């Protein structure tokens, strides 16, 4: 892994490190001159697209103002704390269940639950360690380098029955002014994890990425159509973005916006769906 990081630093973005790592993972050569697959287009974005919205919307704190302006403050998860670091006293002073994370990466997230003891010292130490590490060097996602690292704590979302809020990942494509979504759902945990993709008509799509896929029917939650509308609104100024939303008994909350899902290294099975997804993405003028 150090070898690939070194190559990326010597010749960043479109050069040897990225191309070697891509071929090793994907089993086909990366074309940045004429990208066609979904994964190629993610890597093209990392190398060439300097959209000023990326650092704003990838920042888990700054994006809150963006979401408020676009769809309304009622869709924001309550923020309990934010700061340049986190300490045990701050964690001890909070009531109820909450989630602790950093704003500038896709690092580990810590959940403090009512029915499970939490090692608050370990949580604080891990978050503070994350805040010291530049995430963009590892992934090549340049926008993370422009995010001032901060710790944040949000309220844990649960339904009235006590279930954790379901996470809905909307891949939003904006092609010739027409928006289309592909939905990703994750079922189960760890060894039993299943990841299923659905088209806009909520039909299971016949491919998988990384994890098993049992192509189960989709169980539509209350206000699902509103979720699709909100995802399209949040991604309305972008050619592509993944928008994550939560649904809690019909109340819709914003999760995050992601500009390079799986860092552009997600093997599709069958492979042809990598191109199928890529065809939905109309890159900006080059």
Q: How far, in Å, CA of 4 to CA of 7, rounded?
A: 5
Instruction: Answer yes or no: is pLDDT of 88 > 50.
Output: yes
SS3 278: helix
Mean pLDDT, rounded, of the chain:
92
Q: Work out the average pLDDT over 102-130.
A: 95
Q: How far, in Å, CA of 139 to CA of 133, rounded?
A: 12
| Residue 46: predicted pLDDT | 96
- Whether omega before 270 lies within 30 degrees of 0, making that bond cis, reads yes
| Residue 107: predicted pLDDT | 87
DSSP tag of 271:
T
| Model pLDDT for residues 21-71, shown as the tens digit of each residue | 999 999 999 999 999 999 999 999 999 999 999 999 999 999 999 999 999
DSSP tag of 52:
T
pLDDT category of residue 211 using cuts at 50, 70 and 90: confident
Q: Work out the average pLDDT over 104-131.
A: 95
Instruction: Answer yes or no: is pLDDT of 181 > 70.
Output: yes
| Residue 16: predicted pLDDT | 66
Global pTM reads 0.92
Instruction: Answer yes or no: is pLDDT of 119 > 80.
Output: yes
| Residue 15: predicted pLDDT | 55
Instruction: Answer yes or no: is pLDDT of 11 > 70.
Output: no
CB 262 within 8 A of CB 99: no
Give bridge partners of residue 169 from the DSSP assignment: 184, 244
SS3 209: strand
| Residue 196: predicted pLDDT | 95
pLDDT category of residue 1 using cuts at 50, 70 and 90: very low
Q: Which residue has the higher pLDDT, 45 or 13?
A: 45
| Residue 189: predicted pLDDT | 78
């Amino acid at each position: 892994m150090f070898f690939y990081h070194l190559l990326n630093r010597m010749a960043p973005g479109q050069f040897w490190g990225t191309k070697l790592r891509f071929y090793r993972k994907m089993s086909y050569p990366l074309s940045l001159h004429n990208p066609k697959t979904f994964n190629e287009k993610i890597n093209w974005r990392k190398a060439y697209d300097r959209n000023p919205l990326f650092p704003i919307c990838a920042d888990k704190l700054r994006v809150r103002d963006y979401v408020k302006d676009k769809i309304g403050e009622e869709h924001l998860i309550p923020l309990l704390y934010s700061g340049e670091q986190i300490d045990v006293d701050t964690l001890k002073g909070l009531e109820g269940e909450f989630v602790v994370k950093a704003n500038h990466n896709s690092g580990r997230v810590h959940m403090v639950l009512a029915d499970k003891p939490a090692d608050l010292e370990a949580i604080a130490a891990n978050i503070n360690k994350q805040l010291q590490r530049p995430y963009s060097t590892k992934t090549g996602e340049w926008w993370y380098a422009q995010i001032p690292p901060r710790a944040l704590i949000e309220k844990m979302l649960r339904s009235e029955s006590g279930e954790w809020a379901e996470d809905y990942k909307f891949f939003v494509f904006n092609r010739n002014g027409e928006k289309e979504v592909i939905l990703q759902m994750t079922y189960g945990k760890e060894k039993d994890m299943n990841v299923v993709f659905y088209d806009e008509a909520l039909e299971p799509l016949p491919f998988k990425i990384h994890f098993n896929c049992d192509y189960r029917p989709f169980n539509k939650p209350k206000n699902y159509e509103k979720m699709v509308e909100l995802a399209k609104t949040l991604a309305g100024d972008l050619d592509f973005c993944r928008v994550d939303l939560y649904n809690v008994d019909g109340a819709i909350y914003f999760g995050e916006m992601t500009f390079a899902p799986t860092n552009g290294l997600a093997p599709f099975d069958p492979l042809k769906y990598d191109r199928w997804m890529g065809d939905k993405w109309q890159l900006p003028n080059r």
